[in-house]
Structures are given as structure tokens and as C-alpha cells.
């Protein structure tokens, strides 16, 4: 169902064997657990054992904390886990996205304003080197939205600007910095935020471009970065009516306004089909109001997986969401084949990052000496150059 030997996984024979053997050994319950990436809320043993050992979650993300504490917690999680976890962070503007002592590199728009694409590489390298020092292996960055509507409350300075080619160049440069630190990127927010004035935390955002213009802008960004090896794509609770109608001319108005996170035309038809993405699809944070505007959460969780998402990001209640997905499987909303496809991609990302080998060697989370990387002199000097250039431009 999934070719793990090609872009973006490029797995070798032994890695393919690990994916296949691991999938074959898993229970249905473990497979269901793998598709969840909850928010990390504690370092205490019992709650972590529940999520990591009983539910067998596939990933976890912590908000910024002290570097020693984050590293220790990440090590505890990976030691507990039967299958190594994707440990994520919002390192879209520097290492401060995971550790409070991390380097604040500046907003993407400030980096782009310097006119030097090398600064985007340095941002990606800094963010991911510092994240990797405490055990992160999955960056929820770079943001590759386009600043088409400056009133948009979410994108704006979080983008590399309004020029499509610049967004591509700076996004690719960030990816190079991540790759050099063995960190998977998550290009976001498909099918593209920044077109309207809506906030998807509060309601469904609408990417209203016609299919041709979308393909020349957002489509060009995603197709290029997918070709460059982006391992994961984060899907927003964003509608793209024109592409839904192009793929399914019989779609109702309600179907055209479904957010991409639960929309099979956009996930399977556009992202997988038209753009040829073979990697892992993650939803954006599902506690956002927009995720449940069209249906109850009990329906939306299985609907997202059935539509083509491979991983559910965050929960209101992990136990409830786990139950919703299990019920969706029992009711035939999600087929066992679709579940296996999702889990295969999750495992393939882990294999591509060498997590099984690192776990076996005890190096999946670096030792305390790696903490010297966080906020180091070189990273802060790079960030200061961006700050100085931004001030000069403003002046």
C-alpha cells in the first residue's frame, strides 16, 4: 500500500524489515494508539505509562520547558516505549520553541526580510540542533503559508512573505538545516492559510483561490518541497472549495466547505493524488474549534483517518479519542487497510530517522553534554545578525 523505499522515506532493506515486522507484531489496540500525538503535560511516571505503554501513542509534544527537564522527560518516554516516539515541537522560529534557554531566531518574515536565504538555513539548523539536543526528532515547521491577506490573524509574520518563490527557497533552506540534524519537518498548513481573515482556532478558514491559481501558488510550494523530501505535512482546518469541486464535481456545498483535516478530496485526491505526497499526513491541533464545526468529535476523529490523515494531533481527552477511533473501526468508518496504511507511514518516518537503531544503542536522546548546544554562541550570533539586519531595514 505504501512504498517506503522511495521519497520521502528512502528506507534500506533492514529498515523496511523493521517496519514490516513491527506492523505485523502489533495488536489492533497498539495500531490505534500509534495514530495519536497528544500534548505532553507531565513528567510523572504513571500518566506517562498510561499514554506511552497502555495507549502506545505514536508521538508527543511538549511546550517549552527547561532544557534539562525536557531532555530527562524525553529520555524517560523513549525508555518506556515499545516503539520509539516522534517527539515534536513548534520550532518554527528557533530553539525557544522547545526549551526556554533556546535561541530566539526571529519570526520567519524577519528572516526573509534580510534577503539572505542562508539565514533560513541557519534558523532551521539552530532550531533543530537545539531541539535534537533534548530529544526532539519532529519539527512542526517550516511554515510555508503565503501572506496574501495581511489581516490574517494567524499567518502574517509567521510566513516568509507573499512571494511564492521566496517561500519555497526559504522553506527548503529550513528543511536542509533540519535534515542535517536528523529531524523530520512538517510543512504547514495545507491547503494553505493566509488567504482570508479567519482564525482556524475559532472557525474554518477558507482558501478561496480557484484551482489554477492555487496550483500556481500554494500548490507550487507544496509540490516543490514534497519533491525535496519533506517527510510530513500538517493539514489545517482549512477549506479549499474549488479543488473539492474539481476533484468531485458532484460535491455538495457542505462537502466543499469541510476542513481539509476531514476532507478526502483534499487529502487523498489533492495531496496524495495531484501532488504525489507519499509521506505522513498529520492534522493540525484537533482541539481547535474548526475541527468540529461540521460534525461531532466522536465522528471527526475517525473521519480524519478515513479521509487520509495518518496522525491526530492533540486531544481534549486521549482516552475518549482512542475510543472514538476504535468505534469508527468497529462500525466500518475506518477500514483495517486504511489503519495499516497510516501506521506504516508513521513507522516509516521513525525508521527514516533511525529511531529504532538509536533506541537500541541508547542514543535516541543525547546525553547531558548535548545541552551545551542549546543557546550556544554560534546560534546566538546568527540570530543577532538577523536582528541587526531587520532593525536596519526598519530604519
Per-residue pLDDT of the chain (395 residues; tens, 9 = 90+): 799 999 999 999 999 999 999 999 999 999 999 999 999 999 999 999 999 999 999 999 999 999 999 999 999 999 999 999 999 999 999 999 999 999 999 899 999 999 999 999 999 999 999 999 999 999 999 999 999 999 999 898 999 999 999 999 999 999 999 999 999 999 999 999 999 999 888 889 999 999 999 999 999 999 999 999 999 999 999 999 999 999 999 999 999 999 999 999 999 999 999 999 999 999 999 999 999 999 999 999 999 999 999 999 999 999 999 999 999 999 999 999 999 999 999 999 999 999 999 999 999 999 999 999 999 999 999 999 999 987 776 54
CA–CA distances in Å: residue 274 to residues 197, 246, 268: 27, 11, 9
Q: How high is the pLDDT of residue 389? A: 87
Per-domain residue ranges for the chain? 13-394
Contact status, residue 260 vs residue 239, Cβ threshold 8 Å:
yes
- Whether the Cβ atoms of residue 135 and residue 178 lie closer than 8 Å to each other: no
25, 31, 35, 36: CA torsion to nearest 10: -110
Q: What is the pLDDT of residue 390?
A: 75
Q: What is the pLDDT of residue 392?
A: 72
The pLDDT value recorded for residue 394 is 53
* Fold of the CATH domain 13-394: TIM Barrel (3.20.20)
C-alpha triplet 160, 123, 95: angle, nearest 5°: 120
Catalytic residue, chosen from 51, 179, 193, 284, is 284
Assess whether 284 carries a catalytic annotation.
Answer: yes
The pLDDT of residue 393 is: 64
What are the angstrom distances between the C-alpha of 349 and each of 221, 226, 301, 354?
22, 14, 22, 9
> Are the C-beta atoms of residues 154 and 196 closer than 8 Å to each other?
no
Q: Is residue 130 within 8 Å of residue 95, measured between CB atoms?
A: yes
Q: How far is CA 25 from the centre of its chain?
A: 26
Amino acid at each position: 500500500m505504501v512504498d517506503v523505499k522511495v521519497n520521502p522515506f528512502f528506507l534500506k532493506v533492514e529498515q523496511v524489515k523493521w517496519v514490516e515486522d513491527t506492523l505485523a507484531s502489533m495488536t489492533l489496540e497498539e495500531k490505534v494508539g500509534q495514530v495519536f500525538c497528544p500534548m505532553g503535560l507531565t513528567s510523572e511516571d504513571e500518566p506517562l505509562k498510561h499514554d506511552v505503554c497502555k495507549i502506545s501513542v505514536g508521538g508527543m509534544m511538549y511546550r517549552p520547558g527547561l532544557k534539562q527537564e525536557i531532555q530527562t522527560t524525553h529520555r524517560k518516554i523513549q525508555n518506556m516505549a515499545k516503539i520509539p516516539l516522534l517527539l515534536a515541537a513548534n520550532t518554527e522560529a528557533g530553539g525557544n520553541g522547545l526549551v526556554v534557554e533556546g535561541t530566539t531566531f526571529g519570526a520567519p518574515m524577519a528572516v526573509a526580510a534580510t534577503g539572505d536565504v542562508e539565514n533560513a538555513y541557519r534558523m532551521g539548523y539552530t532550531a533543530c540542533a537545539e531541539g535534537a539536543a533534548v530529544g526532539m526528532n519532529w519539527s512542526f515547521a517550516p511554515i510555508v503559508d503565503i501572506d496574501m491577506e495581511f489581516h490574517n490573524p494567524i499567518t502574517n509574520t509567521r510566513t516568509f512573505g507573499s512571494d511564492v518563490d521566496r517561500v519555497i527557497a526559504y522553506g527548503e533552506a529550513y528543511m536542509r538545516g533540519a535534515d542535517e540534524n536528523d529531524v523530520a519537518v512538517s510543512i504547514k498548513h495545507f491547503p494553505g492559510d493566509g488567504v482570508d481573515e479567519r482564525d482556524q482556532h475559532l472557525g474554518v478558514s477558507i482558501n478561496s483561490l480557484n484551482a489554477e491559481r492555487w496550483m500556481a501558488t500554494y500548490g507550487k510550494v507544496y509540490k516543490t518541497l514534497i519533491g525535496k523530501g519533506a517527510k510530513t505535512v500538517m493539514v489545517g482546518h482549512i477549506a479549499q472549495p474549488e479543488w473539492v469541486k474539481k476533484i468531485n464535481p458532484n460535491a455538495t456545498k457542505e462537502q466543499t466547505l469541510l476542513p481539509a483535516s476531514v476532507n478526502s478530496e483534499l487529502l487523498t485526491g489533492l495531496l496524495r493524488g495531484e501532488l504525489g505526497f507519499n509521506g505522513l499526513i498529520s492534522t493540525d491541533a484537533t482541539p481547535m474549534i474548526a475541527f468540529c464545526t461540521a460534525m461531532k468529535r466522536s465522528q471527526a476523529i475517525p473521519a480524519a483517518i478515513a479521509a487520509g490523515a495518518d496522525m491526530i494531533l492533540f486531544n481534549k481527552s486521549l482516552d475518549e479519542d482512542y475510543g472514538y477511533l476504535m468505534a469508527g473501526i468497529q462500525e466500518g468508518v475506518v477500514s483495517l487497510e486504511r489503519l495499516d496504511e497510516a501506521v506504516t507511514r508513521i513507522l516509516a518516518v521513525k525508521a527514516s530517522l533511525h529511531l529504532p537503531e538509536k533506541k537500541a544503542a541508547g542514543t535516541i536522546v543525547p546525553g547531558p553534554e548535548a545541552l551545551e548546544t542549546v543557546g550556544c554562541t554560534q546560534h546566538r550570533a546568527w540570530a543577532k545578525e538577523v536582528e541587526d539586519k531587520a532593525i536596519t531595514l526598519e530604519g
